[in-house]
Amino acid sequence: MKNIIELQNIHVSFDGETILDHFNLNIRDKEFVTLLGPSGCGKTTSLRAIAGFVQPQAGKVLFEGKDITKLPPHKRQVNTVFQRYALFSHYNVFENIAFGLRISKTPEKEIKERVHEMLALVNLKGFENRNVAQLSGGQQQRVAIARALVNNPKVLLLDEPLAALDLKLRKGMQNELLRIQRQMGITFVYVTHDQEEALTMSDTVVVMKDGLIQQIGTPEDIYNEPTNPFVADFIGESNILPGTMLKDYLVEFEGVEFPCVDAGFGENVAVDVVVRPEDIKIREPEEEALHGVVETVTFKGVHYEMMVRSANYLWKIHSITCREPGTKIGMKIIPEYIHIMAKEAGTAN
């Protein structure tokens, strides 16, 4: 698959503060790419660089191989769904969606057809004469999407489009966005700080922090094979603790040796060990070498969350069986669930 957008060595800083630090990213055609990270990580800025609202101090933005770095936003073939929608309050739903078509002087008959097509796509048939201020958040969101898509962009940029919606509506809109993306067959570049949203929707997730890419991969890769503690911690919940790689396929942590599936770190090398809370099985203390004492128990709806103290580490365990605080337990971790990360200067803590 070819790259539709390439960000090459993009550098952006405001008032001396670096937002994007020589940033490189290739986005493939027809892909659903999500830029994920905490606020201030530069994800929105990268999106705005693609849209043309941010002029990078260095680097290039390529669109289908052509340099568009100096091209103003209105000449780019990408459209944006803005955070909190940015609808035109002086136009009704129809005119909002027709805006881009009117700018490009599309014949009236075609405008009508296309707008109605879009209204059908976003399930807003019959809303064309409504005032946008009277729509609910979810409906405004649909208008914003239709308004961008009516121009047949090759890439749709979405800047935290669901952030202002409540949880239930957000789930519904996630599915709908996926359906729209499949139906239109175009590239979506999606910005969010919600890791769950990123994992459920995307073909590719780009995890960012401080203007740098931490990891690029499929949602499965990112979740199962985080490359550093930041990613491991940011994506889902994790137990991250120091350990030693004794040799290939054997790791030691908390004074206990565990067989694992990782190799190639060398012998007796300090590493970080990642274990997801749901991957630890509770056993009787005499059955397992790794022991701990339950400190707190919280019921979380589908499982219990227990904080368990072992020799040097406080574990978070998700389990459907419950143990009272003060109980001594054994912890079973199978090799497949132990993920080893090389220690990185600066990121380990």
Of residues 22 through 51, those in contact with another protein by CB under 8 A are 51
- DSSP one-letter string for 121-159: HTT-TT-TTSBGGGS-HHHHHHHHHHHHHTT--SEEEEE
Q: Nearest distance from residue 326's CB to another protein, in Å?
A: 40
Nearest distance in Å: CB 78, another protein: 8
Nearer to another protein, 107 or 346 (CB): 107
In the bound complex, what is the minimum distance in angstroms from residue 117's beta carbon to another protein? 17
Measured CA to CA, the distance from residue 177 to residue 345 in angstroms comes to 39
Give the position of tokens 């005032």: 131
Binding another protein (rule: CB under 8 A), the pick from 74, 109, 168, 300 is: 74
Q: Is 89 in the site for another protein (CB under 8 A)?
A: yes
Comparison of 157 and 245: residue with beta carbon closer to another protein: 157
Beta-carbon contacts of 114 under 8 Å, excluding residues fewer than 6 positions away, are 101, 106, 150
Window of 82-90, 118-126, 189-197, 199-207 that interacts with another protein by CB under 8 A: 82-90
Under rule CB under 8 A, residue 227 binds another protein: no
Q: How far is the CB of 183 from another protein (least distance, A)?
A: 21
- Chain positions 122 to 181 lying near another protein, rule: CB under 8 A, are 147-148, 151
* Number of Cβ within a 10 Å radius of residue 241: 16
Closest distance to another protein from the beta carbon of 79 (Å): 6
The residue among 22 and 84 lying less far from another protein, judged by its C-beta, is 84
Which residue, 15 or 286, is less far from another protein as judged by CB?
15
How are beta strands 290-299 and 239-247 bridged, if at all?
A: unpaired
Q: What are the respective helix, strand and coil percentages of the chain, to the nearest 5? A: 30, 35, 35
Is 118 among the residues that bind another protein (CB under 8 A)? Answer: no
Ramachandran angles phi, psi of 163, nearest 5° = -60, -35
Separation CA 327–CA 205 (nearest Å): 40
For residue 104, state whether it binds another protein (rule: CB under 8 A).
yes
C-alpha to C-alpha distance for 18 and 219, rounded to whole angstroms: 28
- Least spacing, CB of residue 286 vs another protein, in Å: 56
**CA 129 from centre of chain:** 36
126: left (phi over 0), alpha (psi -120 to 50) or beta: left
**Residue list 317-346, contact with another protein (CB under 8 A):** none
**90 interacts with another protein by CB under 8 A:** yes
Does residue number 80 form part of the binding site for another protein (CB under 8 A)? yes
314 lines the binding site for another protein (CB under 8 A): no
Residues that bind another protein (rule: CB under 8 A) add up to a total of 26
Could you tell me the smallest distance in angstroms from the CB atom of residue 157 to another protein?
A: 8
Residue from 24, 38, 53, 255 binding another protein (CB under 8 A): 53
d(CA 8, CA 300): 44
Residue 211 phi/psi, 5° resolution? 75, 10
Other beta carbons within 10 Å of 30: 17
In angstroms, how far is CA 297 from the centroid of its own chain?
30
Task: Confirm or reject binding of residue 84 to another protein (CB under 8 A).
Answer: yes
Sites of contact with another protein (CB under 8 A): 51-53, 72-75, 78-80, 82-84, 86-90, 99-100, 102-104, 147-148, 151
